[in-house]
Each structure stands twice: as C-alpha cells, then as structure tokens.
Amino acid sequence: MNYADRLEEAVRRAANPCLVGLDPHPANLPEEFAVVRDPAAPRAAKAQAAADFLCAILEVCAGKVPAVKPQSAFFEIYGADGALAWERVVATARRAGLIVIGDVKRGDIDTTAKAYAHAFLEGSGPADRAHLCDAITINPYLGSDSILPFLDSCKQAGAGIYVLVRTSNKDSKLIQDHGTPPVYERVADSVVAWGKELVGARGLSSVGAVVGATHPAELTALRTRMPTTPFLIPGYGAQGAGAADIAGGFLRGGRGALVNSSRGILFASKQPAYRELHWKDAAARAIDAMALEINAAVGFES
Amino acid sequence: MNYADRLEEAVRRAANPCLVGLDPHPANLPEEFAVVRDPAAPRAAKAQAAADFLCAILEVCAGKVPAVKPQSAFFEIYGADGALAWERVVATARRAGLIVIGDVKRGDIDTTAKAYAHAFLEGSGPADRAHLCDAITINPYLGSDSILPFLDSCKQAGAGIYVLVRTSNKDSKLIQDHGTPPVYERVADSVVAWGKELVGARGLSSVGAVVGATHPAELTALRTRMPTTPFLIPGYGAQGAGAADIAGGFLRGGRGALVNSSRGILFASKQPAYRELHWKDAAARAIDAMALEINAAVGFES
C-alpha cells in the first residue's frame, strides 16, 4: 500500500499529526539509564540501556501518535551494538502499529544509493524485514540520480522518503539559500517531480520533504509550491518554533504534515510543568499537550 | 598527530596516491563468496563473507597503497551483522597500517553531528577505539553548523574529514551547479575556511574535499582555489575518468590528493587483462598498474 495513504490513515487513527523523534542523547537519559554516561561501561550495556529507554517511550507513543522518528546517529555511537539496538527499537515500534521514519539522511550515487534503499526500506532477503523503516530521510546534495533508487523502493515496497529541502538549523543558508531562485526552491520543485507518480488515493505522494518550522514564511510558501508533498516539520519545541509557526505547513483540515518533537517529549520530565511526574508519565502528558496545541493551530479535523 | 601529516607520510611510504574503495557489491564478489547472493542465506553469513573478502583485499593493499575507503552502504545492507563486519574491516585495515577513510557521507545538525563524530572519529569510551576511522566523508547540505562538530574531532582526535564539493555522478548539477557562482565554489571556499586552523606541518589541512574526476576542468580550477585542501578524487576507472583527467587535482610532485578506485581493483579479475589470475593476484596487479599510471600522470616524486 502507498506510504502516503498508510500515513494518512495512521494520522486519522491517532487523531493528531505529531511525530516523536527518538534521539536518545546520553546526556539527557533518566537516571535509571545512567550507564550510558559511564565512560567505563561496556558499549553493549549502553546501547541496551538506550534501547530500553526508547522501548518504554514507544509504549507511551502507541495509539497516541501516528509515527516515530529514530535518529540514526544516536545509535551509531554504539557501533554494532547500536545497530542491534536500532533494529530492536524499529521492530518494537512497528509491532506497536507506529509508522517508523528512519532519520538517516543518507545520499549517495547509483549502486550505493540502491544499497541504502535495501538497508532501510527493502531488506536484503525475505527473513530480513522486521527492522525495516516505513520511510527514511534523504540528503539531495548529489542530485537526481542519487534519489532514483529510493523512488524504486517507494514503488515496489510501498516505502516513503523525505528529502531535505529546508532544514531548521541556523546555518542552513550556506547552500540552501544560495542563488536566485534559492537552492531550496529548486530542490522543492524536484521533490514534486520525483513524487508525481507516487501520489496515492488520498492525493499525497510518498515522496515527502523536510521543511523546518524555524522559517515560517518559507514553510507557507513551500506548502503552496508543493501541494501534494507530505511535509516532515522539525524545529518545534526545543528548537524554538511554536504551533503558530508550523500551521502554514499544513493542508486544509490539518492534513499533509507531521510535526516532530524529540527532546520535548523524551525528556519532558526535565520541564518545570512535569517535574513531579515519572519520566514516562511526563512524556505522555507532553504528547497530549503537543497534540492539543498542534491540532488547534492547524485546524485538525478527525 | 594532524591527519593531513599522517596521510602525507603514508602516501610517501607507499610511493603512490592510490586509494582503494572497499565497496563489496554482492553482485560482483568472487564465486567463493557467493553466499552473499543467496536470498535464503542468513544475513550474518553474508556479512561475514563480505568482510572475509575485504580482509583478503586488505592483505593485498597493505604496503601497496596509503589508504582504503570502506563504503558504509554495502555494510548497512546487512544491518547489525554489517556493522560488525564494518568494525572488523576497519580494525583490520588500521592494524595493517592503512589510513581508513570511512565513506559515510553523514551530515546533520549540532548534537546529532557530534554523535556521528563520536561514532566514527572519536569513540564513545576508551575501550571503543579499534574500529574508528582516520577520516570520513561529510555532506555539507545543512551548512556550517553541521560541520563544526567534526572540526572538533579533527583538532582533538587528529581526525580528518572530506566534504563533498563536486561529486562524480551525472546529475550532480542539480544542486552543485546552481547559482552564480555555483554552489560547489561556495562550498569550496567554505572548506578552505573550515580547514584554516587545521593546516599541518606539511602545508595541508585535515579538512579535505571530495572532487570528482569526471569534471577535469573544474578539478583544476578547484585545485587553484583550494591550495591547502587535500582532495579525494572519485570517478577514476569504472566511472570513466582516466589518469590525464585527474592530474589537475594534484599539487606539485603528486602531492595533495588521493585517487579512488573501487571496482577496478576489487573486481579486477573480471577484466580481460587479468582474467587468468586469482582475484587476489588480479587486485594486486591492478593496484600496481594504477599506481604506475597515476604516478606518471601526476609527476609523483617519492
């Protein structure tokens, strides 16, 4: 089934467009997982603790949000042990009915891109599917031929991709703003073209775009420019953008976009409002508060 | 010790600037490793076969070339088993005295970039160093703040990075040629600036650039534009560029650049000239032939 249709169905079921970013930054993990901060601890123990924490977070997410976004880097710090942890977290999320968007930002030429597509979206054999992502993020710097192998995954495996168009960090301007029109508009137009044949029954494509919430005017302009493209919007919460900033990224009825929050959910118990709660309850409350705020701002219709 | 100085020393010792790309594409592995092509084989067996093949190639490389470049994607297809294989290959290469450039093309914002720097260049603890790379490739689409954490690794851990400037694939123009001046020149100037404080005793920086051999005129122009930047030049051999095409990427005496060949070395036994040889002998002969050709074209002085 087309990725965009599956995602829309998941958003409808959860009744909100919130995406929980799974970035288990060692510095922020609750005290019971402090082994991740012990320089002398074996790497396997750290990776396992990070996965244990995230699997507990996934119990909170199940039924509450449509999708989660594990961040590859925070697993790769544990090498092969981290790769095992990644697979466990991804498989647990999928079993819980959550859409999994692997935040891997890969990008490379032809056969190499195909290998990444196999690694994350297609699997290397029939017994090798449990840990696959529903979608991944892709870096477009290498151009169209680096994207094509992933479009095959979208067509053949019902996968999705989110191409980096406009990122939420401060120095994104170096490349993304360069030229007239700027690079990010050129990439935006390419994303629409790449996704043309992958528009599903609900009018959205399996080829999405990452568009930061920290540039609200551009977000609105890109929404108009890319009417059938699902957006993944980072930057909400810890990175500074509020619900009003992200509204322009949505289509009518609160459709067509996911808003990511990572630290704001995972480490909610560090916020004054939730300090009295267990970290798991704090995460649940933070998700509820985020969903309420986002749904109101984007006019979500269930 | 500064990465650029270590690399220059390795090039001097091997007496050639050839880089062997470790891309164990399953379709091309010799028959004794055919398990990688068996859809029913366990993933661990495939990953082990790929690593066995590469470790045999490393025996050929040791002493003959200064550096090798494992390609992350062809390990990631085997998931956690592939990550174990990656660590074994990297550790074996380093024990053999080879400089290891991890072709990972990572790129992400602040704390995430820092996590990648830990994963590949710094390690997450003292017992976790054997499989670290000497340098990695980096994608600059996210801008300066995504590069800074890697500069810290260069300063503190003596690591190196190669930023994608101009890639060797056909459609690289989409982003890299956009604007006046084109994006790739803007990135080139940034690479020089990022590397300024990391210039070693031999006049080269630890912040390098990936510049494809398939654009010879640009390669020469970028060499002038980036006088202290070590180049990593892909595109030679299987991708179509010859020795004459890469000469412009070198400084006087054949210094300041590495030329990569992957398929042309690993799968040399598929070439008519080497068909009678065992694949390991074919790889050795292909390295010798490449070194001879490159050294003559770039005026290498040992």
Contact assignment for A115 to B178 by CB distance below 8 Å = no
d(CA A105, CA A163): 8
Q: Which residues of chain A have pLDDT under 50?
A: none
Q: What is the structure's pLDDT at A90?
A: 98
- What pLDDT does residue B241 have? 82
**B142 and chain A in contact, CB less than 8 A:** yes
For the beta carbon of residue A92, count every other beta carbon within 10 angstroms: 20
Q: Is A129 on the interface with B (CB under 8 A)?
A: no
What pLDDT sits at residue B123?
A: 85
B214: confidence class by pLDDT, cuts 50, 70, 90: confident
Largest CA distance in chain A: 53
Nearest to B81 by CA among A48, A106, A134, A128: A128
Q: Is residue A130 helix, strand or coil?
A: coil
**pLDDT classification of B240: cutoffs 50, 70, 90:** confident
Judged by a CB distance cut-off of 8 A, whether residue B194 touches chain A is no
Please name the member of A73, A112, A174 whose beta carbon is closest to the beta carbon of B73: A112
Nearest CA among A162, A215, A167 for reference residue A191: A162
- Residue A128: per-residue pLDDT: 74
Residues from chain B that touch A146, judged by Cβ atoms under 8 A, are 169, 171
pLDDT of B220 above 90:
yes
Residue B291 scores a pLDDT above 90 = yes
What is this model's ipTM? Answer: 0.97
Q: What is the mean pLDDT of residues B145-169?
A: 96
Stretch (H or E) spanning A294? helix A279-298
**What percent of chain B is predicted at pLDDT more than 70?**
99
pLDDT at A211: 97
Would you state the structure tokens that stand for residue B89, as one six-digit string?
């290959």
Check if the beta carbon of residue B8 is closer than 8 Å to that of residue B67.
Answer: no
Q: Mind listing the pLDDT tens digit for each residue in B24-79?
A: 999 999 999 999 999 899 999 999 999 999 999 999 999 999 999 999 999 999 99
User: How would you write chain B as a 3-class SS string?
Assistant: CCHHHHHHHHHHHHCCCEEEEECCCHHHCCHHHHHHHCCCCCHHHHHHHHHHHHHHHHHHHCCCCCEEEEECHHHHCCHHHHHHHHHHHHHHHHHCCCEEEEEEEECCCHHHHHHHHHHHHHCCCCCCCCCCCCEEEECCCCCHHHCHHHHHHHHHHCCEEEEEEECCCHHHHHHHCCCCCCHHHHHHHHHHHHHHHHECCCCCECEEEEECCCCHHHHHHHHHHCCCCCEEECCEHHHCECHHHHHHHCEHHHECEEEEECHHHHCHHHCHHHCCCCHHHHHHHHHHHHHHHHHHHHCCCC
Give the residue numbers of A annotated as catalytic, written as ranges: 105
Residue B240 at interface with chain A, using a CB cutoff of 8 Å: no
Q: Which of A42, A144, A175 sits opposite B187 (nearest CB)?
A: A175
Cα dihedral angle (B51, A74, B165, B179), rounded to 10 degrees?
A: 140
Which amino acid would we find at residue B37? R
Kindly list the structural domains of chain B, giving each domain's residue range(s) and its CATH number in brackets, ordered by start. 3-298 (3.20.20.70)
Chain A residues in contact with B171 by the CB 8 A cut-off are 142-146
User: pTM to 2 decimals?
Assistant: 0.98
Residues 10-49 of A with CB under 8 A from B: 23, 25, 39-43, 46
B125 pLDDT band (50/70/90 cuts)? low
Residue A123's pLDDT is what? Answer: 86
Give the closest-approach CA distance of B101 to chain A in angstroms.
16
pLDDT of residue A193: 98
Secondary structure (DSSP) of A172-213 = GHHHHT-TTTTHHHHHHHHHHHHHGGGB-TTS-BSEEEEE-T
pLDDT of residue B276: 96
> Residue B32: is it exposed, middle or buried by C-beta count within 10 angstroms (0-12/13-18/19+)?
exposed
pLDDT band at B130 (very low <50, low <70, confident <90, very high): confident
